[in-house]
Structure 1
Amino acid sequence: MRASAACPCGRTDAKKRPTVYTDCCGRFVAHFDTTPAPDSEHLMRSRYSAFVHDQVNYLLATWHSSTRPATLDFDAGAKWLGLEVREHKTTGADTAEVEFVARYRLDGRAVRLHERSRFVREDGRWFYVDGDQS
């Protein structure tokens, strides 16, 4: 990936220009141990970017231990097309929800994943817990 490539999460700057991956989600994905996502929306966006780039280690590391799968397999041939964050809200001192729609293409078929995800903060780090899909 080029250092100047746009972040897959779709975040833009104040002038509506795409944010560079290394300045956006890439810093969290590449440096999870030292640079945790500051809130649940950043974590959700960085997890989307990790799916785009097949970063299994990051996805498992940011998945809460109570619901984390032992392994994670990617759909071979999935082409991620975009992310729309619809809502981000704090639900408690250390809990939050993010509603999003992620789009991808698999075997020539368009797929739309609409989920309200739940997150928890432990020891200053946010973790994905689970979500309800619609």
Structure 2
Amino acid sequence: MKIKHLLLLFTLSAAMISINACKSEDDDHGDDHNDPVLTITSPTENESFLGEVHIELTVTDESLHSLSIKVTKDSDGSVVYEDSPTVHDETDYDYHEHFTPAGLSGLTDMTLTVVVEDHSAHVVTKTVKFTAQ
């Protein structure tokens, strides 16, 4: 019987330590009062691509949480490219990708939308309009 009580006490102690450790990690992000800094270098506003589209951006913050990158056709909102790279707890992140949109008939208006969030729930969204063929 004593062994069961000791085992229960040990389990409860371990659970309390785990809970407090999670709270301490969360508190580390409490000093972040700044929005993430998002710089999109490609595409530029109204840039035109023939074939391959280049996406280049940089994100900085005290502690990044998530990053979402999406390219949609302006005509119908359909998604032609989407990515959510892992940026959890990064402070600097560079993104450089290329893709070739499929099924385009002529010059097509598109929008790049980038959403970045840090651990303090600061969210920054930027969009860039461009064309691709």
> Which band: TM-score by shorter chain?
under 0.3
TM-score normalised according to structure 2 size: 0.23
Structure with more strand by fraction: 2
- In our comparison, the structure showing a higher alpha carbon Rg is 2
TM-score normalised according to structure 1 size: 0.23
